Homo-oligomer: A and B are copies of this chain.
């Protein structure tokens, strides 16, 4: 058998395997040997493509996670219709993405964030960058919603987008903690309640924030 050599594909295989291992065991729990075992490659190949385990971790964020999130959310929030409906749709789409294995492992980005953000500045910067991009996409969509009249004028798009991402990750995280699907179902309904808060009302599109959710 002639072993075919393809540097780019080999690197991609290592990245993919590392992503999977990190998703299951965390970065600190990920073992270089296990990544190699998954790919069938050896130490020589690994340290040819990556100078260290840390560099692999960084690359997983930059080249896998950043794309994984960005691609989906940019596409999901692209249409210029109702951004709130789009967000609701994205919630389900992402949960579906996170799989139905016996063990629910949550969001790979948030996992890495909670584990590594305070420990390693390189991780923290990359994670922050990824979250910011995600939040930016949502905020832009909300602003477009304000222009087309689906989102209330008084809404702080940046703050609302930030909270949406935080709350969504919180719901996923609590579901991971309980390992029970109904935890997420309960959270999801309440998250919808918040999202509807952002809607423009038919009769008064420019309510002041402090009374928008309360009768005068």
Which residues of A approach B to under 8 Å, CB–CB?
A: 24-26, 28-29, 103-106, 110-111, 113-115, 117-119, 124, 127-128, 131-132, 156, 158-160, 162-163, 165-171, 173-174, 176-179, 183, 186-187, 189-191, 193-194, 196-197, 199, 201-204, 209, 213-215
Q: Is the CB of A169 within 8 A of B174?
A: yes
Q: Is the CB of B171 within 8 A of A24?
A: no
Bound-complex Cα distance A191 to B197 (A):
11
Q: Is the CB of A162 within 8 A of B186?
A: yes
Q: Is the CB of B118 within 8 A of A103?
A: yes
Q: Would you give the shortest CB distance from A115 to chain B, in whole angstroms? A: 6
Q: Is the CB of A191 within 8 A of B177?
A: no
Q: List 28 A-B contacts (CB under 8 A).
A: A24-B119, A26-B28, A28-B28, A29-B119, A106-B118, A114-B176, A117-B176, A118-B176, A127-B177, A128-B179, A131-B178, A159-B189, A162-B186, A163-B167, A163-B171, A163-B190, A163-B191, A166-B187, A167-B170, A168-B170, A170-B170, A170-B171, A190-B194, A194-B194, A196-B213, A199-B214, A213-B213, A215-B215
Q: Would you give the shortest CB distance from A208 to chain B, in whole angstroms? A: 13
Q: Is the CB of B162 within 8 A of A183?
A: yes
Q: Which residue of B lies closest to A26 (CB)?
A: B115
Q: Is the CB of B186 within 8 A of A215?
A: no
- Please indicate the chain B residues that have their CB under 8 angstroms from the CB of A193 in the complex: 194, 197, 209, 213
A173-B173 contact, Cβ under 8 Å, with A28-B26, A186-B163, A190-B163: yes
Q: Is the CB of B201 within 8 A of A214?
A: yes
Bound-complex Cα distance A209 to B127 (A):
37
- Please indicate the chain B residues that have their CB under 8 angstroms from the CB of A202 in the complex: 215
- Please indicate the chain B residues that have their CB under 8 angstroms from the CB of A117 in the complex: 176-177, 179
A119-B25 contact, Cβ under 8 Å, with A176-B114, A179-B124: yes
Question: Which of B105, B160, B166, B215 makes the CB contact (< 8 A) with A170?
Answer: B166
**Known contacts A167-B171, A167-B191; can you find 5 more A-B pairs with CB under 8 A?**
A158-B186, A163-B167, A169-B174, A170-B170, A193-B213
- Please indicate the chain B residues that have their CB under 8 angstroms from the CB of A29 in the complex: 28, 119
